[in-house]
Amino acid sequence: MPITTKPFSNEKAPCGQLMDGERLQDRDEECLLTDEMFYKCGCKTIRHEYHDGSVSCRIVHHDGTVLKDKLNAE
């Protein structure tokens, strides 16, 4: 899967505001799927699904505070 970048609008950001932004999706050798959302306010969510079934998720508030940083082994 080639890297795809798509704009989005009026999505709820981690800070609670409705924001526009950009979504990036990619598949590569090390990670089955990368799904990243970057909001115009500066918030971001990053989700990786790995070949072994584990999933990592990182959510960052626009002030730099990490709201979630978790790896779930499936």
- Six-digit token string for 62: 């626009």
Q: What is the mean pLDDT of residues 22-47?
A: 90
CB 11 within 8 A of CB 39: yes
Q: Can you give the pLDDT at residue 10?
A: 96
Q: Can you give the pLDDT at residue 1?
A: 58
- Does residue 31 carry a pLDDT above 70? no
Q: What is the value of pTM for the model shown?
A: 0.85
Adjacency order of strands within the sheet including 44-49: 4-12, 18-26, 33-39, 44-49, 55-60, 66-72
pLDDT-derived band of residue 30, with 50, 70 and 90 as boundaries? low
